[in-house]
């Protein structure tokens, strides 16, 4: 792991700084929105704009890269993000914020494509899994540091907005000075969304609903914290807990899912998340209970993204895995685009408790559907599946890279058993 960090230190440093800025902007807008008396419904639209932009960027960025190159796209999108962070403080209106969130989401989507492509290009077959793990650690660390930075200045002023812009601007220096062009991951076969849904109904449905949970955590958690009157320090702790626990829970949940039916793990983790959210509603008067609910929700929700991709890959031939992962990223992004809007209206209707009620319902829906799918088809044996890889970034490239590693494992298993790729054809009814 140390060799991975030292060989790609420029990329990891740049990504860490980017995540500090991205993490800070979500919480800062949530707190500042409360100070400006923006209601939860309005903030829901503002926060949703990021995910709409991110979804659009995931489709447009690869074409831009092919036309003008990695470095130019990286620099251009980075400049847009840095400028948008300053404009937040200049035009404090919901429409301006929503427009800038759209720009920021689009920009970060393209930035992730470039960074993850470079990461994939510098990794080897022997250390690619460690590289993905290191990437996740850096991302989560950046998110947590971003929450701590929230306490450094008054959110009602300009300082934090300027600091966000400076951090993002600095982040590009090590990457642009060290990066070399890297090709995007190529897929052997393409899959339509219809084929993907047929192959894994749970993977598609779960990814869509999980997008709604992710969006509420990343976009609306600070809004919720502001609505219940938490201090800046408490807001930072509340949001950070959702990501700190994810680092701890990723490995044990992944290990268990490699040894049993992944649908059981999906159902169990979402039931735990549902109970945690219920606790957040019932014991909303207790700060400790709210912290615990956030910590548990983050611990079970973040690893679910990896679980959905791994579960889907269990029912696919290796040649289709990368394309399927890309499709799941898109489906997840669609769910995320609607998430903040829905949770904003639920909070407007029910009050702040609507944040946990919304997540409780979505966890219950995923758990119920996972249990239903277990009655429709038998699971592959653990010996027929690859290992779960930690993926918490919603970048298309990283999901495809993880799928390629998974496919290599499956092919090795097939070779050992004397099987062939064709034996893993898409099953009737999927998983």
The domains found in the chain, sorted by start residue, are: 2-424 (1.20.1250.20)
Question: Phi/psi at 158 (nearest 5 deg)?
Answer: -100, -20
- Which residue is listed with tokens 């998974």? 406
Q: In whole angstroms, what is the distance from residue 110 CA to residue 47 CA?
A: 19
Q: In whole angstroms, what is the distance from residue 47 CA to residue 44 CA?
A: 5
User: Which two tokens mark 272?
Assistant: 């735990």
Non-local (6+) Cβ contacts of 419 within 8 A are 413
Q: In whole angstroms, what is the distance from residue 189 CA to residue 363 CA?
A: 33
What's the CA dihedral at 66, 72, 77, 78 to 10 degrees? 140
Non-local (6+) Cβ contacts of 412 within 8 A are none
- Which residue is listed with tokens 């899912």? 257
Task: Output the pLDDT for position 188.
Answer: 47
SS3 391: coil
Q: Taking every pair of C-alpha atoms in the chain, what is the biggest distance, in angstroms?
A: 66
Query: Residue 328's closest CA among 421, 389, 398?
Result: 398
User: Which two tokens mark 90?
Assistant: 């200049």
Below-70 pLDDT ranges, the chain: 1-2, 4-5, 7, 117, 120-133, 178-191, 318-319, 321-323, 325-326, 379-431
| This prediction's pTM | 0.78
| Residue 228 Cα to chain centre, angstroms | 26
Non-local (6+) Cβ contacts of 256 within 8 A are 265
Q: How buried is residue 383: exposed, middle or buried, by Cβ count under 10 Å (0-12/13-18/19+)? A: exposed
- Which residue is listed with tokens 């062939």? 420
Query: Residue 392's closest CA among 142, 155, 95?
Result: 142
DSSP 153: S
Neighbours of 156 (CB within 10 A): 13
Asked whether 296 and 272 are in contact (CB, 8 A), the reply is: yes
Cα→Cα distances 326→58, 259, 431, Å: 10, 25, 18
Task: Output the pLDDT for position 177.
Answer: 73
Per-residue pLDDT of 364-413, as tens digits, reads 999 999 999 888 877 665 555 545 555 555 555 555 555 555 555 555 55
Neighbours of 358 (CB within 10 A): 24
Neighbours of 197 (CB within 10 A): 16
DSSP 202: H
Q: In whole angstroms, what is the distance from residue 362 CA to residue 104 CA?
A: 27
Q: In whole angstroms, what is the distance from residue 365 CA to residue 267 CA?
A: 10
SS3 content of the chain, % helix, strand, coil (to 5): 80, 0, 20
């Amino acid at each position: 792991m140390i060799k991975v960090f030292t060989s790609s230190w420029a990329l990891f440093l740049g990504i860490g700084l980017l995540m500090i800025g991205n993490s800070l902007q979500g919480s800062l807008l949530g707190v500042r929105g409360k100070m400006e008396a923006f209601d939860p419904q309005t903030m829901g639209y503002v926060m949703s704009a990021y995910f709409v932009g991110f979804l659009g960027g995931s489709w447009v960025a690869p074409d831009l890269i092919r036309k003008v190159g990695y470095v130019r796209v990286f620099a251009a999108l980075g400049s847009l993000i840095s400028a948008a962070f300053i404009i937040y403080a200049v035009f404090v209106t919901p429409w301006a914020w929503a427009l800038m969130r759209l720009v920021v989401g689009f920009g970060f989507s393209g930035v992730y494509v470039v960074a993850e492509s470079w990461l994939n290009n510098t990794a080897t077959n022997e250390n690619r899994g460690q590289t993905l793990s290191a990437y996740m650690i850096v991302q989560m660390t950046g998110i947590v540091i971003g929450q701590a930075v929230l306490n450094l200045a008054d959110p009602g002023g300009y300082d934090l907005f300027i600091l966000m812009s400076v951090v993002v601007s600095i982040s590009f220096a090590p990457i642009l000075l060290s990066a070399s062009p890297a090709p995007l991951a190529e897929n052997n076969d393409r899959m339509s969304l219809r084929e993907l849904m047929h192959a894994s109904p749970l993977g598609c449905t779960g990814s869509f609903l999980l997008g709604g949970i992710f969006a509420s955590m990343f976009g609306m958690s600070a809004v919720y914290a502001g609505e219940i009157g938490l201090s800046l320090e408490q807001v930072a702790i509340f949001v950070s807990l959702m990501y700190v626990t994810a680092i701890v829970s990723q490995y044990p949940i992944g290990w268990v899912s490699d040894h049993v039916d992944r649908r059981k793990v999906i159902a169990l983790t979402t039931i735990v998340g549902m109970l945690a959210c219920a606790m957040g509603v019932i014991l909303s008067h207790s700060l400790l209970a709210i912290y615990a609910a956030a910590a548990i929700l983050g611990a079970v929700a973040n690893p679910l993204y990896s679980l959905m991709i791994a579960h889907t890959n269990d029912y696919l031939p290796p040649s289709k895995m990368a394309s399927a992962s890309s499709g799941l990223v898109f489906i997840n992004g669609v769910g995320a685009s609607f998430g903040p809007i829905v949770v904003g209206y639920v909070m407007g209707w029910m009050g702040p408790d609507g944040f946990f009620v919304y997540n409780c319902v979505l966890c219950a829906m995923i758990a119920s559907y996972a249990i239903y799918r277990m009655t429709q088809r038998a699971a592959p044996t653990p010996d027929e599946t690859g290992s779960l890889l930690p993926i918490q970034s919603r970048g298309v490239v990283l999901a495809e890279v993880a799928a390629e590693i998974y496919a290599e494992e499956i092919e090795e298993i097939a070779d050992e058993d004397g099987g062939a790729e064709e034996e893993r054809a898409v099953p009737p009814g999927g998983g």
